Amino acid sequence: MTKQHANWSPYDNNGGTCVAIAGSDYCVIAADTRMSTGYSILSRDYSKIHNCKADKAVLSSSGFQADVKALQKVLKSRHLVYQHQHNKQMSCPAMAQLLSNTLYFKRFFPYYAFNVLGGLDEEGKGCVFTYDAVGSYEKVGYSAQGSGSTLIMPFLDNQLKSPSPLLLPAQDAITPLSEPEAVDLVKTVFASATERDIYTGDKLEIMILKADGIRTEVMELRKTLSECWQHTLSIVLIRISTLGSLCYLELCLKFSCVVNRFSFSYL
Amino acid sequence: MFRNQYDTDVTTWSPTGRLFQVEYAMEAVKQGSAAIGLRSRSHVVLACVNKAQSELSSHQKKIFKVDDHIGVAIAGLTADGRVLSRYMRSEAINHSFTYESPLPVGRLVVHLADKAQVCTQRSWKRPYGVGLLVGGLDESGAHLYYNCPSGNYFEYQAFAIGSRSQAAKTYLERRFESFGDSSREDLIKDAILAVRETLQGETLKSSLCTVSVLGVGEPFHFLDQETIQKVIDTFEKVAEDEEGEAGEGDAEAAAAPAEQGGGGAGDQDVAPMEM
């Protein structure tokens, strides 16, 4: 008698990728805006980034977005309590520890959230903290989490990791890159990940934290496997429909909408 | 009122239908230094007199932020007030978490009143010895409520509680009809003038009072000493001398030592010697 397995799971994976890079006086946090379930797309414009409104701390999480939302709410409330008690905002390292504790609190029914926390530390230097689902965390110079992380992390290692691991213990140093270079690297990395990861795409949301404030940039990413095919398809359909009747045009438009909802299409 | 055989515990009624312990708790409110609240259609101002226990110590914090849209000023046993503010803060955070919207002030004061009532009907508890002026802004406009130790609450256009508050109340009674349409600046000025009434002769300095404002488009925050001093300067023409009336303060402190027990160091909400 084989063991019966549950036909219902409390978790779902909504996909997506999050990346953060720490600089000498800035921190870049980025995430794509695609939310999916299975092979379907739920939204092309869903933000995975949460501004903790702590002293420059921004949380980006991929995984099960319902758990991510709940986690963000809990952190927000805990931060308010801290502000009432201490009369000041939490620093980024403090928020990092709080997040770790909050995650471990649910050690036996975890938040299905893969987090990257980015911000500026007490000295104004960029810091990135990377987590697993139950709160194990580490301060690093850069990190990627989510469905595209396996594609992105090796590339970031190649570009940003300390170049002499044989001579010194390899330390994730804060990157010597300038802020525009880091933003460019992030855009490159996401464009590549979008090519091969079906769960990453649509738009890229980038938040750049510096001492004087937070700036947001949005960049378009590939929406389907072959954007050029989608464009060609729509032209062909319109050409055909001008010859045919109006209802044929309607049918073609409906088809292209269906195509839109599949993260990859056999075209 | 004088000592009688029905005032030993809160669960004993007097033959005339009074709960003396609850009434004594209301007396405790009158022992604290003055707190004043006023509201217009769009703003609420809370002000209080900074009374230090001695010349060596800092003054106690009497106005607390509950949320961006709610503040509370207390008079009486400060320790009880601090505990109730913590309760109010957690109520506001929980409501915000569940409903993703700010807690309506009217709901908060009902929670507070019910909490106070519990202490009037348990033989092992005592009533809270603090009066709370809760000022806040919600969808239905700006509100000012007064919560008693008895568990009653009332809504006011303007009110004052604590010692020598009658002088402030007289001033407010003369002026309250114009408060509804007052500008924010006029409201602040009226609050500081009301504080001056309670000082009764003592010269008004910005170090003697704490003023907080909240309103439409303006989250709860304290006014800094400079701003308060500027308002005082607009109506105080007499040169201020350095004579602080600590003598009167000590007499009141001696009458109710328990309420001053918290002091500056024990209060986790304020940095010591905050002025």
This model of the complex carries an ipTM of 0.79
User: Given an 8 Å threshold on Cβ–Cβ distance, is A81 in contact with B269?
Assistant: no
Model pLDDT, residue A230: 47
For chain B, give the DSSP string: ----TT-SSTT---TTS--HHHHHHHHHHHHSPPEEEEE-SSEEEEEEE--BSSTTSPBPP-EEEEETTEEEEEEE-HHHHHHHHHHHHHHHHHHHHHHSSPPPHHHHHHHHHHHHHHTTS-TT-----EEEEEEEEETTEEEEEEE-TTS-EEE-SEEEESTTHHHHHHHHHHHGGGGGG--HHHHHHHHHHHHHHHHTTSPP-GGGEEEEEEETTEEEEEPPHHHHHHHHHHH--SPP-S---HHHHHHHHHH-GGGGSSHHHH-TTS-TT--
Dihedral, CA atoms, B225, B230, B236, B242, nearest 10 degrees?
Answer: 30
Chain B contact set for A87 (CB, 8 A): 269-271
Task: Decide if B246 touches A, using CB distance below 8 A.
Answer: no
Nearest residue in chain B measured CA to CA from A74 = B97
Preferred mutation among A53, A72, A79, A84 to probe B, highest tally of B CBs within 10 A: A84
- pLDDT for position A135: 96
Average pLDDT over residues B217-244: 79
Residue B71, pLDDT > 70, answer yes
Q: What is the pLDDT of residues B80-112, one digit of tens each?
A: 999 999 999 999 999 999 999 999 999 999 999
Average pLDDT over residues A148-172: 77
Q: Is the pLDDT of residue A191 over 60?
A: yes
Report pLDDT for B236: 75
Which of A171-175, B37-41, B48-52 is the most confident on average? B37-41
pLDDT confidence bin for B205, thresholds 50/70/90: confident
List the single range of A135-144, B190-199, B231-240 with lowest mean pLDDT: B231-240
The per-residue pLDDT for B261 is: 38
Q: Among B56-60, B114-118, B221-225, which is the least confidently predicted range?
A: B56-60
Give the pLDDT band (50/70/90) at residue A163. low
Q: Is pLDDT at B119 greater than 70 in this prediction? A: yes
Q: How many CB pairs below 8 A link A and B?
A: 22
pLDDT at A141: 92
Identify the pLDDT of residue A253: 56
In this prediction, residue A104 carries a pLDDT of 98
- Option in A77, A85, A87 nearest B97 (CB): A77
List of chain A residues whose C-beta atoms are within 8 Å of the C-beta of residue B94? 77
Shortest CA gap A46–chain B (Å): 19
Return the pLDDT at A14. Answer: 96
What is the pLDDT confidence band of residue B207, given thresholds at 50, 70 and 90?
confident
Per-residue pLDDT tens digits for A46-65: 999 999 887 789 999 999 99
Residues of A whose CB is below 8 A from B97 = 73-74, 76-77
The label of the residue with tokens 């989250």 reads B219
Q: What is the dihedral of CA A75, A81, A82, A85, to 10 degrees?
A: 180
Cut 0.90: pTM above it: no
The predicted model gives B209-215 an average pLDDT of: 95
Whole-number pLDDT of residue A140: 92
Q: Euclidean distance between the first and final Cα of chain A, in Å?
A: 45
Residues of B numbered 121-180 whose beta carbons fall under 8 angstroms of chain A's beta carbons: which are they? Answer: none
Between A214 and B243, name the one with better pLDDT.
A214
pLDDT of residue A21: 96
Of A210 and A54, the one with more pLDDT = A210
Of residues B247 and B26, the one with the higher pLDDT is: B26
Choose among A74, A76, A84: nearest Cβ to B89.
A84
For chain B, the average pLDDT equals 86
Taking the Cβ of residue B90 and every Cβ of chain A, the question of whether any pair is shorter than 8 Å is answered with yes
pLDDT at A247 over 80: no
Residue, of B273 and B117, whose pLDDT is higher: B117
Question: Considering the domain B3-223 in this protein, what is its CATH number?
Answer: 3.60.20.10
Domain ranges of chain B: 3-223
Which chain B residue has the Cα nearest residue A86? B269
How near does any CA of chain B get to the CA of A70, in Å?
10
Express each pLDDT in A67-108 by its tens digit: 999 999 999 999 999 999 999 999 999 999 999 999 999 999
**Mean per-residue pLDDT over chain A, rounded:** 85
User: B212 or A242: which carries more pLDDT confidence?
Assistant: B212
A260 has pLDDT over 90: no
